[in-house]
Each structure stands twice: as structure tokens, then as C-alpha cells.
Amino acid sequence: MKTLATLLMLFSLTILTQAADQPAKPKIIITADGLPSGHDTPEAAACDLARAFIKHDAELFTKTCIRLYADGKGPAEYATFLKSTADSIKEEAARTEGEPRGPKVVGKVFAARHLSKSGPASYGYASFGFQDVMFVDVGVLLQDDKRTINRTMVIKDKDGKWYVHPMPSVSPMLCEGLNDEAPSKLDFTEAYELQKE
């Protein structure tokens, strides 16, 4: 009998020790829709990009995107892209005829991941002062009820805040391998301790 009790006690101690050894999950604040928002985490920035299109909010789109950076033709192309996309969002918001287009709701947000290749993060740091480069897979339900996954590049800028890069192709070295990464599997709710706003 003592042997069984001893074994149970040792088993309990082992479980408690393993639980204590696991690092605490970082906290993330979620809004009323159950998703993060703002610049504190990569997932929050990616969600705000989706919200900008869902809510037809050109200001949120602009605020969520990474600043102009780079050399050569990159900044001009990126600036043109930002302006034309913001204009398209405004036009969609003002449109009254026809069926609504674009995303309807965010269905799933995966935990942010680093690219497999170390080159993009190193390049971003050395060339532009970026603190980190990651990506977030965001599942959205479209107006036609089709589902799609949007892979969003996210950058922690030198101000310590996370922004999205909606057009990483303007900087090929920064997004090298982005579209070759395997699909994400870990939901953001498994990577964080959720707190309501």
C-alpha cells in the first residue's frame, strides 16, 4: 500500500515539476470580437489589417502598415501601393450598388512565426533597423462565403511596435521564402494568455 501511495506522490510531483518548468504564456488583450488589435503583437497588427478591409477603414489600413523604408524604387512603389489601396478602400466604403466584395469576417488567426530562413530578419535589422520580421496566417470568410488564408508579413519596427507589410514583394530580400512556408497550425489562443479589453 505504501508503495502505491509513494508512486502516486512521485507522479504528482513529476507533473507539478513539469508544469512549473513550462514558461508562462505572454498575455494578449482581445477586443469584443475575440481578436487582438493594435501594435503590441504581430497577431494584433495582422488582425487590424483584415479589419481595415472588412470595415472599409482606410485610416486603420494606413496606420497598421509599416512606414516607407528601403532604397531605390522600393519606397516609391510602396507609397503608390499604399495610396491606391487606401483609395480603393474608400471607394468600396462609398459603393452602394451591387454585392459587397472582399472579406466579411476573420475566422481564424494563427500564432505568428519566424521565417525558416534567417536572412530576412538579419537584412531588416541591418538595413532598416527592424527589430523582428515574422508572418501571421489569417483565415477569413469572404462575402461569397468562401474561405481563404491570407499570409501577412509583420515587422517589429525600431519603435518597438508591430506593423504589417502589405506589399513585401517590393523588398525581395525581406520576404525571401515567405510563400514557401508550410501552413500554420498553432492558433494564437494557444500561444497567449487571453485578457479581455
Residue 69 has a pLDDT of 84
**Section 65-87 average pLDDT:** 85
Residue 3 has a pLDDT of 61
The rounded distance, in Å, linking the Cα atoms of 99 and 89 is: 15
Radius of gyration of the chain from its Cα atoms, rounded to whole angstroms? 21
Residue 6 has a pLDDT of 55
| Amino acid found at 53 | F
92: confidence class by pLDDT, cuts 50, 70, 90: confident
Supply the pTM of this predicted model. Answer: 0.84
Residue range 162-181, pLDDT digits in tens: 999 999 988 899 999 999 99
Residue 75 has a pLDDT of 79
Residue 16 predicted with pLDDT over 70: no
- Domain definitions of the chain by residue range: 30-93+101-196
Residue range 50-68, pLDDT digits in tens: 999 999 999 999 999 999 9
49: confidence class by pLDDT, cuts 50, 70, 90: very high
Residue 9 has a pLDDT of 55
The rounded distance, in Å, linking the Cα atoms of 27 and 50 is: 22
DSSP string over 83-152: HHHHHHHHHHHH--SS---SEEEEEEEBPPEE-SSSHHHHHHHHHH--SEEEEEEEEEEETTS-EEEEEE
Residue 25 predicted with pLDDT over 90: no
**Section 44-49 average pLDDT:** 97
CATH code for the part of the protein at 30-93+101-196:
3.10.450.50
